[in-house]
Amino acid sequence: MNISYQNIAHFAKTKLLVGVVAALGLVSCTADPNSPGVEYMPDMYRATGYEAYLKKYDIDSTDFFERNLKKLGYDQAGDSVKGAIESEVAALYNVFKSGLITRKPVEGTIAEGKIPFPIEKGDRSKAKAIKMPIPYTETSLVEGKAYYEIFCVHCHGPKGQGKGSLIQKELFLKPPAYSAGDTKNLSAGEIYYTIFYGKGMMGSHASQIVEEKRWKIVQYVQTLQGNKVEDLRDAKVNSSVELEAVDAELPDSTQAK
């Protein structure tokens, strides 16, 4: 068999090509089977956003600045080392010197629209002392009905009989009717307490409905209990939540002022 020089050269090139491809394949192998080794625009799925109140300092950055404090011109004595590291890392990550991404609210302050409920979860009986803080008006009742139909009707039903769409599909247990049994006698404060903390399979709606809207829902629920609007209007309405009956039992920080 005669083997030409061209055949030998072609065979050698083929082997070389196979060897190069194999070598590249081995080099491109990684320890993570889910990583392709190449990322296109990684910021699209590896976001730089941080969780609130998260400390962004990491070991690598801290170690780096600790090794280079002299170059940065800081005295390496006592607490100044820690302060220098915090200052430099904060500047690098654009966070506060404490290392937190966002500052915590000043102790004792109340965020706008986040009025705390002065009764702790589990003290449902104390909610009876809470009086309706807003007047019963035609507007408040109309708005209360609108909010009820957004947040409540899917379980409690349009007439408060526990015949909402989710209940009819048997996705949840039927809640009691507002106009029957113990539910009929719930006070405004107890209804508000239920909206704020939830009860049974009903979760808290405090984060979804602001305080004023909760009270308007309470007003509408009271009409579903069978109360006449005239009677509700004649009832004592306080300009602010009254808790005289429970103030003495509440911590100083939560007592109504």
pLDDT tens digits in sequence order for the chain, 257 residues long: 555 666 666 667 788 888 888 887 777 665 666 666 666 666 666 556 666 666 655 555 556 566 666 555 555 555 566 666 666 666 655 556 566 667 777 888 887 767 778 888 888 888 988 889 999 998 999 999 999 999 999 999 999 999 999 999 988 889 999 998 899 999 999 999 999 999 988 999 988 898 999 999 999 999 999 988 888 877 655 434 443 433 434 444 334 33
Contact between 141 and 227 under an 8 Å Cβ cutoff? The reply is no
**What is the predicted pLDDT for the residue at 33?**
64
Q: What is the pLDDT of residue 96?
A: 63
pLDDT score, position 24: 78
Neighbours of 199 (CB within 10 A): 13
User: Looking at the chain, which residues constitute the CATH 1.10.760.10 domain(s)?
Assistant: 124-254
Q: State how far the Cα of 29 lies from the Cα of 26, in Å rounded to an integer.
A: 5
pTM of the model: 0.56
Report d(CA 75, CA 32) in Å as an integer: 43
Looking at residue 129, its pLDDT comes to 86
Residue (of 96, 76, 77) closest to 86 by Cα position: 96
Measured over all CA atoms, what is the biggest interatomic distance in the chain, rounded to whole angstroms? 117
pLDDT recorded at residue 238: 47
- Output helix, strand, coil percentages for the chain, rounded to the nearest 5: 50, 0, 50
CA 45 to chain centroid: 21
Instruction: Report the CATH architecture of 124-254.
Output: Orthogonal Bundle (1.10)
